[in-house]
Chains A and B, each alone.
Chain A
Amino acid sequence: MDFQPTIQQDLLRKAVRQFAEDEIAPLVNEMEINDDTPLDLVRKMGDQGFMGVTIPAEYGGTGMGHLARMIMIEEVGRISAGMAMALQVMQMGAGMVIDSGSAAQKAKYFPSLAQGKILVAPAITESSGGSDLEGLSTRAVDEGEYYSLNGRKVFITNSHISELAVIIAKNEGGAKRDFSAFLIENGTEGFRRGRVERKIGFHGCITGELIMENCRIPKENLFGDKGRGLAVALKGINDYGRMGMVGIALGLMQASLEAAVKFARERVLYGKPISNLAPIQFKIAEIYADLESSRLLAYYAAWLIDQNKKSDTQVSSAKFFSAEAALQCTRKAMDIYGAYGCMKDYPLERYCRDAQLLVPADGTNDVMRIIAGRNLAMKR
C-alpha cells in the first residue's frame, strides 16, 4: 500500500492551493456579504482547467480523475466552502454529460463544458425533498415531436448562473420508477429561474429554483435513455455530488486545524501560549484524527470511482462521517478561539455555518447511513 501521492496529484494540490490563496481568498469577504458567485473567478477556474479534471482529454479535459478532483475541492474548500460547492457542482454537471449524454450532446457542449465556458446545473430536488426520488412530482409528457415538462426544482446549486440544466422528471403514465432526464438550455420556452435562496452558509454559491411551465423540450434533449432518469441522477449524485460534499468537509477541517494551531500558539494565558494546555492539545488532536480518518475514507472512495468499482457504501460512509466530523471540528476550533471565535473578524463562525450545510446536501446523513447499512447488513 502506497500513501505517497503521485507527482501529478502533488503538483495539482500545490497549484490549486496557490490559486485558492491568490485568487479566491481576497473575494471571500465580498462573497459573504453579497452572496453572489464572482463570474470572473469562475472564468479563471475554467482557464486553469478545474471544471475538466475528470473529463477525458478528447473532450477538452485532463482526465486526472476523481481522486485528483477530491484534492482540488479540498484545497478550494480550505479557503471557501461556498466556492468549493459551486465548483463541485459545475464538475458534476460536466461529468454527467460525459457519463450519460449522447454523442451529439457531447459534441455540442464539449469542450466548452470542460473549460467552464458553459455550466450545467443538475436539478433533481423538489420541495418534497431530494432523497425520495420516487416522490418527485415534475412530469414529462411525450407529445410526439417534443416533450412537455411541468414542475418546480428547488435548492438547485448554480441555478442562476448556468446555461444548461439536467432535469429529472417522471414520465406521465409510466410505472413507479419510470423517470427520464432532460437537458434544458436556458432560454427554452416555458423554462425560467425562480427565487434565490438565502442560506446560512456556502455564501458565494447561488442556490435557487428552476421552473418548468409547459416547457417544450426537443426530443434530442432527452438525456440518457428514456426511463433511465433515476440511474442518471444516482450516478451523478454518488460519483460527484456526495464526493464533492466530502471534499468540502475535508477543506473545512483542514482550515479549522490550521486556524486552531495558529491561534493556540499565539494566544497567551497564564504567561504561556495556550498550546501548552492539555485540554487545547486534546481538541487539536481530535480535529487531526477526524480529518485524517475522513481523508483516508474519502481518498479510498474516490479511488474506487476511478477504478470503476462499486463505491456507494464507501461514498455514503465518507459523506456522513466527514460531514459530522466537520461539524465537530469546526466547533472545536471555534471553542479554542473562545470569544474571538464568535466574532465575524475571524473565519471560525463561517466554518461552523458552512459545515451545517454538509448535512442535508446530496442526501442527508441519515439517508447515507441507510444506503451503507443496507448494503452491509442485507445485501450479499
Chain B
Amino acid sequence: MQVAVCVKMVPAPEQWSQIAFRDDGSLQREGIELIINPVDRNALEEALKIRQALGGTVTVFSMGPPSCLERLREALAMGADRAFLLSDRNFAGADTLATSKVLAAGIRKEMPGFDLVLCGSASIDSGTAQVGPQLAAHLGVAHLTDAFSISVGEQNCFQVRTVASHGYFITKLRKPALISVTRQLNKPRIPTLFDIVASCNKEIIILSSADLNIPKSESGLEGSPTKVRELFFPPARRLARILEGSIEDRVEELLRQPGVAGVLK
C-alpha cells in the first residue's frame, strides 16, 4: 500500500499571542515555533498502521518555508519512509486552492501510483477544512472527510466511518482515494530514541516550483482567488439578565428564553 500523508506546519498554540499579521493578512511566522498540525499527526499514525498491516511505504508531503524542515524530521522519526518539502518563494501567501494545487503536483510527480492520500480534517491555524477535498479534486480521486475509523477491506476497498450530525456514516471507498481524518481516529505514537536516531539518516527532498512545473500565476498569492480583506476579533457580547419573582416563575421565564431549553436537560 503506497500512502501519501499531507501535513501542515502551524504556529505552536502556546505562542499564538505573539503572532503578528502582515498587511496582506498572511501570518508572520518568523520567530514563532512551528509544530505539525495536531490532526495531521493522526493521519500519519493511520498511514503507519496501514503500512504495518499491509506493507508498502509512507511518504509525507508538506508545503511551507525551509523552517518546516525540522518538523518534517519529526514525521520521519514517527516512522515515515521519506518526506518532501514543497518550498518556493512563489508559493508564499497561498490560499487553499493554490496550496492544494502544489500538493497535488508534488504527489503526482513523486508518487504517481499512490493508493491512498491521508490528511488532517482541518488545521488549527486557519481551519478551513478545504485543502483535503480540493486536493482530491486535483488528483481526480474520490474522497471522504472527517473519518474516525478506517479499515482496508476486500478488493482494495477502504471501509471508512465518518462523523455525521447524529451518528456516523459507513462508506466503502475504492482506491486510489483521499481521506481526511479526525483526532478520534487514533493516538499518534511518540517517537522512540531509536526512531529519532534513524530519522537522521532519512532523506528530506525539497521541491521548487520549477521541479513541480507550476507557473507563478497558479501558486502562492498570485494564484489565490481568496483575498483577505480584513482581520479582526469578532466582538464578544454577553448579556446578563436577572430574573425576578417566585422560583417557579423564574424557571418558567428561563425556559422561555431561546436556546435554553436544549441546554437544561
Contact = CB atoms under 8 A, between A and B. Distances in A.
Contact of B194 (A7, A14, A19, A62): A62
A290 B120 CA distance: 41
A14 B74 contact: yes
A11 B77 CA distance: 8
Interface in B179-218: 190-194, 196-197, 199-200
Interface in A329-366: none
Contact of A48 (B74, B193, B199): B193
24 contacts: A7-B70, A10-B70, A11-B74, A11-B191, A11-B196, A14-B74, A15-B77, A15-B190, A15-B193, A18-B190, A19-B190, A47-B192, A48-B190, A48-B193, A49-B193, A49-B194, A50-B193, A53-B193, A57-B197, A62-B193, A62-B196, A64-B193, A64-B196, A64-B197
Given A7-B73, A14-B74, A15-B77, A22 B194 contact: no
Q: Which of A11, A15, A57 has the most CB of B within 10 A?
A: A11
A12 interface: yes
Contact of B200 (A8, A14, A53, A57): A8
A52 interface: yes
A353 B190 CA distance: 31
Nearest to A47: B192
Nearest to B199: A11
A7 B196 CA distance: 9
Interface in B54-90: 70, 73-74, 77
Interface in B120-149: none
B200 A7 contact: yes
Contacts of B191: 11, 15
B190 A8 contact: no
A12 B190 contact: no
A47 B192 CA distance: 7
Interface residues of A, number: 19
Contacts of B190: 15, 18-19, 22, 48
B73 A62 contact: no
Contacts of B73: 7, 11
Interface in B138-180: none
Those 3 A-B pairs whose CB atoms lie nearest each other, nearest first = A49-B193, A62-B193, A11-B196
Contacts, number: 43
Interface of A: 7-8, 10-12, 14-15, 18-19, 22, 47-50, 52-53, 57, 62, 64
B196 A8 contact: yes
Interface magnitude class on chain B: 10 to 19
A28 to B, nearest CB: 18
A115 to B, nearest CB: 10
A116 B70 CA distance: 29
Contact of B196 (A15, A19, A57): A15
Given A8-B197, A15-B196, 13 more contacts: A7-B70, A7-B73, A11-B191, A12-B196, A14-B74, A15-B77, A15-B192, A18-B190, A47-B192, A48-B192, A53-B193, A57-B197, A64-B197
A52 B70 contact: no
Nearest to A6: B200
A321 to B, nearest CB: 29
Contacts of B193: 12, 15, 48-50, 52-53, 62, 64
Contacts of A18: 190
A341 B196 CA distance: 38
A291 B73 CA distance: 29
Contacts of B199: 11
Contacts of A12: 193, 196
Nearest to B77: A11
Contacts of A15: 77, 190-193, 196
A49 B70 contact: no
Contacts of A47: 192
A40 to B, nearest CB: 16
Contacts of A49: 192-194
Nearest to B191: A15
Nearest to B198: A62
Contacts of A62: 193-194, 196-197
A212 to B, nearest CB: 35
A338 B73 CA distance: 43
B128 to A, nearest CB: 27
A47 B190 CA distance: 11
A62 B194 CA distance: 6
Contacts of A11: 73-74, 77, 191, 196, 199
A333 B40 CA distance: 37
Contacts of A53: 193
Nearest to B188: A18
Contacts of B200: 7-8
Contacts of A14: 74
A70 B30 CA distance: 29
Q: Which of A14, A15, A19, A57 has the most CB of B within 10 A?
A: A15
A50 B192 CA distance: 8
Nearest to A9: B196
Contacts of B194: 49, 62
Nearest to A63: B197
A53 B70 CA distance: 21
A15 B78 CA distance: 10
A302 to B, nearest CB: 16
A72 B212 CA distance: 41
A57 B196 CA distance: 13
Q: Which of B70, B192, B193, B194 has the most CB of A within 10 A?
A: B193
Nearest to A60: B194
Contacts of A64: 193, 196-197
A82 to B, nearest CB: 21
A50 to B, nearest CB: 7
